[in-house]
Amino acid sequence: MLSQPDQAGFLPLDHMHVLVARLMQLGYQCLGPAVENGAIVMRELDAPDGLPRGLQAEQAPGRYRLTQDPHNRYFAWANGPQAIKPQTFAAKETLWRVERDAAGAQQFAAVKPVVPAQAIIGVRACDLAALALQDAHFLREGRRDRHYAERREQLFLVAVQCAEPAPTCFCASTGDGPTPTAGYDLALAELADGFVAVSGSKKGEAVLDALKLAPATSQQIEAARRQGVSAAASQTRSLPGRTLRDVLMKRLEHPRWDEVAARCLACGNCTAVCPTCFCHAELDEPALDGASSEHARMWDSCFGESHGHLHGFNVRPDIRSRYRQWLTHKLATWHDQFGRSGCVGCGRCIAWCPVGIDLTEEVAALTASEVKP
């Protein structure tokens, strides 16, 4: 169960709005699940009782369809196409602007991001693990990204335990879920009549104290623990429970790369939905009158042809080399950069790949004879 179960409180089901109201009172813009274009995304709640119930989604390779939860729970959905990434690493933003002054000289100015304090309600364990990886990249010593840092500091994270992972999830095998254990301000486990709630930070503790919850009973805490164990056991996909670095790097000429390249459309969907991918492109957008220009960055993908352009040639001219770059960076050389794999087992790249390419299947084929427990 969530960390510090001995200090858990119990939030009755019909009191969820009290938690949201408290966060709103504290000045947080509260984000929760909402349906947009047939998928569950995080959007601003307009009222404390605005959290929807009964949302669920059926997920499979290349498939995501909304369904109705027969138990009408708040958090029966496993995950949608977004994690926390759009809240910290904006899909597109201006970094600096240049304008001509009255004398015709160019004046450069950094653009400060607009950063509301945001509480995100419904964050999953895999999302928290992905956020920790994004922190390692964007907040690394000597190269701290100001835009990311300012947004990150303003977050209040309400995590929830996944009671019903999607068939595409494999966070248990990567060690990142389905029960949140760190990185949250508050964590909730949803039971039939309410939530076992624990805090994971001083900010979270202050919010829980203000709610004056009754302590969770030992039966409720045990039910939440069992729910997490059974959610983990229900996952059918997995990655091998060891570093794949050496074995994948020895397989750079494996024929499987050609097979997967024949199916892959190089659309970049997998990188857009992946909560740990951080590649970006930079572009200048001059005004038509020539008086000013903005320098922006936007998400980019290693599947795009332009991402491999160096001066005068392309280092990844075909889909085979781009898929191989993505998978070997994510699962192999990420270990050299960040000390762990870049995959947190959320399964988004499987569900949102239009042709249903499944990285767990690709890894199994690539490593079949070499990975031992």
Binding residues for ligand SF4, per CB under 6 A?
264-270, 273-276, 303, 330, 343-349, 353-355, 357, 359
Q: DSSP letter string over 161-225?
A: --SS--TT--HHHHT--SS--SS-SEEEEEETTEEEEEE-SHHHHHHHHHHTPEEPPHHHHHHHH
Distance CA 54, CA 160 (A): 15
Nearer to ligand SF4, 200 or 268 (CB): 268
Nearer to ligand SF4, 118 or 341 (CB): 341
**89, 321, 276, 302: which is closest to 174 by C-alpha?**
276
**Each residue of 162-198: b (16+ CB within 10 Å) or e?**
bbbbbbbbbbbbbebbbbbbebbbbbbbbbeebbbbb
Nearer to ligand SF4, 30 or 171 (CB): 171
Minimum Å gap between C-beta 279 and ligand SF4 is: 13
Minimum Å gap between C-beta 230 and ligand SF4 is: 21
Nearer to ligand SF4, 57 or 270 (CB): 270
Minimum Å gap between C-beta 346 and ligand SF4 is: 4
Backbone angles phi, psi at 314, to 5 degrees: -115, 125
Nearer to ligand SF4, 181 or 269 (CB): 269
Distance CA 363, CA 358 (A): 9
Q: DSSP letter string over 30-43?
A: EEEEEEETTEEEEE
Q: Show the CA angle centred on residue 125, arms to residues 274 and 93, nearest 5°.
A: 40
Nearer to ligand SF4, 51 or 357 (CB): 357
Minimum Å gap between C-beta 352 and ligand SF4 is: 6
Spatial contact of 347 and 59, defined as CB atoms under 8 Å apart: yes
Instruction: Please name every residue paired with 34 in a beta bridge, in sequence order, or none if there are none.
Output: 41
CB burial of residue 219 (10 Å; 0-12, 13-18, 19+): exposed
Minimum Å gap between C-beta 116 and ligand SF4 is: 26
Minimum Å gap between C-beta 19 and ligand SF4 is: 28
Minimum Å gap between C-beta 237 and ligand SF4 is: 9
Nearer to ligand SF4, 32 or 347 (CB): 347
**300, 347, 345, 344: which is closest to 325 by C-alpha?**
300
Nearer to ligand SF4, 1 or 362 (CB): 362
Distance CA 160, CA 257 (A): 37
Minimum Å gap between C-beta 253 and ligand SF4 is: 20
* Bridge-based pairing state of the strands 313-314 and 309-310: antiparallel
Nearer to ligand SF4, 74 or 323 (CB): 323
Minimum Å gap between C-beta 60 and ligand SF4 is: 14
